[in-house]
Chains A and B, each alone.
Chain A
Amino acid sequence: MNKIKDWVSRLKQGHMLSVIGVFLLIIIVLGVLLYQKQVEAKQTSENTYNMAFFELVDYVQNVETYLAKSLISTTPEQGAETLTNLWREANMAQSYLARLPIESQELANTEKFLNQVSDYSYSLSRKNIYQESLGEEDLKNLKELHTYSTELTNTLNQLSEDINSGRIKWGELTQKGDNAFAQQVDNISKEGFSNLEENFHEYSGLIYDGAFSEHLTSEEKKGLTGENIDEETAKQKVQEFIGTEQIKEIESLGLSENATIPAYDFSIKTPEDHQMNLSISQKGGHVIYLNCNREVKAEIISQEEANQKGKDYLTSKGFPNMKETYYLKQDGIVTINYAYEQKGVTMYPDLIKVKVALDDGEILGIETTGYLNNHTNRDISKVKISKEEAKKTLNKQLDIQSEGLAVIPTEWKTEILCYEFKGKVDDTEFLVYINAENGREEDILVIHNTPNGILTM
Chain B
Amino acid sequence: MKNSKKIGLFILIFAASIGMVTILSSNKKYASTSLAASSSNSTSDIQLMARAINGEARGEPYEGQVAVGAVILNRVKSSQFPNTIAGVIYQSGAFTAVSDGQINQPIAEDSTVYKAARDAMNGWDPTSGCIYYFNPNTATNKWIWSRPLVKTIGKHRFCK
Contact = CB atoms under 8 A, between A and B. Distances in A.
Nearest to B82: A98
Interface stretch (A54-62, A111-119, A223-231, A401-409): A111-119
Contacts of B78: 212
A331 interface: yes
B24 interface: yes
Contacts of B63: 267, 275, 277, 291
A293 B112 contact: yes
Interface stretch (A11-19, A127-135, A144-152): A11-19
A95 B87 contact: yes
B97 to A, nearest CB: 15
B33 interface: no
Contact of B91 (A104, A115, A116): A104
A56 to B, nearest CB: 13
Given A29-B20, A100-B92, A331-B114, A94 B151 contact: no
Given A22-B9, A265-B151, A111 B81 contact: yes
B20 A26 contact: yes
B125 A103 contact: no
Interface stretch (A233-241, A306-314, A315-323, A362-370): A362-370
Contacts of A103: 92-94, 141
Given A103-B93, A258-B160, A335-B122, A291 B79 contact: no
Interface string A161-201: 00000000000001000000000000000000000000000
A101 B92 contact: yes
Interface in A57-94: 91, 94
Contacts of B87: 95, 98
Interface residues of A, number: 60
A23 B125 contact: no
Contacts of A212: 77-79
Nearest to A352: B123
Interface in B102-142: 112, 114-115, 118-119, 122-129, 141
A258 B129 CA distance: 9
Interface string A315-357: 0000000000000101101010000000000000000010100
B80 to A, nearest CB: 4
A279 interface: yes
A202 to B, nearest CB: 17
A43 interface: no
Given A19-B12, A98-B87, A289 B125 contact: yes
A331 B148 CA distance: 36
Interface size class of B (residues with CB under 8 A): 35 or more
Nearest to B20: A30
Contact of B129 (A26, A217, A333): A217
Given A291-B63, A452-B41, A369 B93 contact: no
Contacts of A261: 128
A274 to B, nearest CB: 10
B80 A291 contact: no
Nearest to A288: B128
B37 interface: no
Interface in B74-98: 77-83, 87, 90-94
A108 interface: yes
A112 B79 contact: yes
A291 B87 CA distance: 28
Nearest to A452: B41
B91 A275 contact: no
B61 interface: yes
Nearest to B140: A176
A256 B114 CA distance: 27
A22 B90 CA distance: 44
Contact of B80 (A111, A253, A288, A369): A111
Nearest to B61: A275
Contacts of B124: 289, 291, 353, 365, 367
B82 A259 contact: no
Nearest to B99: A174
Contacts of A14: 5
B5 A15 contact: yes
Contacts of B92: 98-104, 174
20 contacts: A15-B6, A23-B12, A26-B20, A95-B82, A95-B87, A98-B92, A104-B93, A116-B79, A253-B151, A256-B151, A258-B148, A258-B160, A259-B127, A275-B62, A289-B125, A293-B62, A330-B118, A335-B118, A353-B122, A370-B123
Given A103-B93, A104-B92, 17 more contacts: A18-B9, A26-B20, A94-B82, A101-B93, A103-B92, A111-B82, A256-B128, A259-B128, A279-B128, A289-B126, A291-B63, A330-B114, A335-B118, A353-B123, A365-B119, A369-B123, A369-B125
